[in-house]
């Protein structure tokens, strides 16, 4: 009976004993199948937790769209020292040297107690600090100099605003900056400001604006903006973006002067370079003549370098011009229209000198 049970354990389903090689092959196949199943389950779980980059990008709404890079995300070589930069140098235990330095137009700084200037342009602050330390050590002033240099102001990180603004200077660049932003920082337009601003692009702006252009031509280096339209309409397309290294120049409007026997003497700005100003228009802006005006003795004083005194006197007979019997004369920028007063004998004798003296202190009227 025991032998029959042992024989049953060693037989297969058909009742015959299995071959030894077949049993080993089945065991190997079973282990391989279990390994493949485990690997597949692991990959499936990982795929559910972390979708592929291609799948993620394809589901983004802005996939495949080339966006312009905002100007405040573009970095320049702002760590390199350039002429006119303001540096802050600190040397441990040497108070005579620890102060601010302005880089000269030639690209160097002059450190007290050192004979020769130290080249700075093109260096990063750490390199300049090392150069200063080596000079101090070579001069026998400090055995183990510890020097730090920082760029406090840099024209590469600033926008220059010049021309007819209240406070022309360099303004630090921070974030997105537009034309109106820098004019506001400059205190607004001056009284003699014209209607045009000229923007000269720096190297960084040229690189940024060249991106994404379909043609191979470079963007214009010099751009003009119509300030009158910008201020009146607030058109965002006219409010140009600025970049570090740009220069904004607000052009001055032409100014002419009407002085003497008029009701509103002063300086008046031309709206633009194309405006045609005449004597009759100028008298209208000056609110007409006074009753004591000597109409046939008026004159225009105009700058002329070819004349002995640097100006010419153009005689006017306002009586005939107002009556239409003489042509209206043009008035140009910097002209002085002088109308003598019968109550002032001195003004009649020395009309030109009196007109110039009066014009130097007049108020400039904006229209």
**Which comes out higher in pLDDT, residue 169 or 155?**
169
Asked if residue 12 has pLDDT above 50, the reply is no
Which residues, in sequence order, are bridge partners of residue 102?
Answer: 86
As a whole number of angstroms, the distance between CA 248 and CA 8 comes to 103
- Pick left, alpha or beta for residue 65 (phi over 0 → left; psi -120 to 50 → alpha; otherwise beta): beta
Q: What is the pLDDT of residue 60?
A: 38
DSSP-assigned states of every residue in 158-194: EEEEEESBSS-EEEE--SSEEHHHHHHHTTSB-TTEE
pLDDT in tens, 179-210: 999 999 999 988 778 888 999 998 878 888 88
As a whole number of angstroms, the distance between CA 157 and CA 49 comes to 45
pTM of the shown model: 0.49
- Domains of the chain listed by start with CATH number: 86-153 (3.30.1950.10), 156-252 (3.10.560.10), 255-365 (3.10.560.10)
Containing 153, the helix (H) or strand (E) segment is strand 147-153
Asked if residue 276 has pLDDT above 90, the reply is no
- Pick left, alpha or beta for residue 287 (phi over 0 → left; psi -120 to 50 → alpha; otherwise beta): left
Q: What are the residues whose beta carbons fall under 8 Å from the beta carbon of 120, sequence distance 6 or more?
A: 81, 85, 87, 103, 107, 108, 109, 128
Asked if residue 57 has pLDDT above 80, the reply is no
Residue from 158, 146, 133 nearest 83 by CA? 158
pLDDT in tens, 222-249: 999 999 889 888 888 899 999 888 999 9
Which residues, in sequence order, are bridge partners of residue 90?
Answer: 148
Q: What is the pLDDT of residue 221?
A: 92
Average pLDDT over residues 286-294: 92
DSSP-assigned states of every residue in 8-51: HHT--TTSSPPPHHHHHHHHHHHHHHHHHHHHHHHHHHHHHHS-
pLDDT in tens, 115-161: 899 999 888 899 999 999 999 999 888 889 999 999 887 777 788 89
The answer to whether the Cα torsion of 92, 96, 97, 99 is positive or negative is positive
Asked if residue 74 has pLDDT above 50, the reply is no
As a whole number of angstroms, the distance between CA 127 and CA 146 comes to 13
Which residues, in sequence order, are bridge partners of residue 247?
Answer: 160, 200
């Amino acid at each position: 009976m025991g032998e029959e049970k042992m024989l049953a354990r060693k037989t297969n389903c058909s009742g015959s004993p299995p071959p030894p090689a077949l049993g080993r092959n089945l065991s190997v196949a079973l282990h391989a199948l279990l390994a493949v199943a485990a690997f597949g389950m692991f990959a499936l779980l990982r795929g559910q937790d972390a979708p592929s980059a291609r799948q993620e990008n394809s589901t983004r709404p802005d996939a495949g769209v080339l966006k312009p890079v905002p100007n405040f995300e573009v970095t320049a070589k702002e760590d390199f020292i350039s002429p006119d930069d303001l540096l802050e140098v600190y040397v441990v235990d040497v108070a005579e040297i620890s102060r601010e330095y302005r880089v000269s137009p030639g690209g160097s700084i002059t450190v007290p107690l050192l004979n020769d200037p130290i080249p700075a342009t093109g260096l990063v602050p750490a390199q300049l600090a090392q150069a200063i330390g080596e000079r101090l050590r070579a001069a026998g002033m400090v055995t183990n100099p510890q020097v730090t240099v920082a760029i406090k102001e840099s024209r590469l990180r600033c926008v220059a605003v010049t021309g007819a603004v209240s406070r022309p200077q360099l303004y630090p660049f921070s974030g997105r900056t537009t034309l109106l932003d820098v004019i506001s920082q400059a205190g607004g337009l001056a009284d003699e400001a014209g209607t045009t601003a000229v923007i000269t692009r720096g190297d960084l702006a040229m690189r940024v604006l060249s991106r994404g252009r379909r043609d191979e031509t470079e963007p214009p280096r010099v751009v003009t903006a119509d300030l009158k339209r910008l201020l009146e309409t607030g058109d965002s397309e006219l409010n140009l973006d600025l970049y570090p290294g740009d220069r904004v120049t607000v052009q001055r409007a032409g100014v002419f002067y009407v002085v003497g026997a008029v009701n509103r003497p002063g300086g008046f700005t031309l709206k633009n370079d194309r405006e045609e100003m005449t004597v009759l228009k100028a008298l209208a802006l000056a609110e007409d003549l006074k009753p004591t005006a000597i109409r046939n003795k008026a004159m225009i004083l105009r700058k002329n370098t070819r004349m002995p005194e640097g100006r010419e006197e153009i005689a006017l007979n306002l009586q005939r011009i107002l009556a239409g019997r003489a042509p209206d004369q043009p008035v140009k920028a910097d002209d002085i229209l002088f109308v003598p007063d019968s109550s002032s004998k001195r003004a009649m004798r020395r009309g030109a000198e009196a007109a110039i003296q009066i014009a130097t202190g007049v108020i400039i009227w904006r229209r």
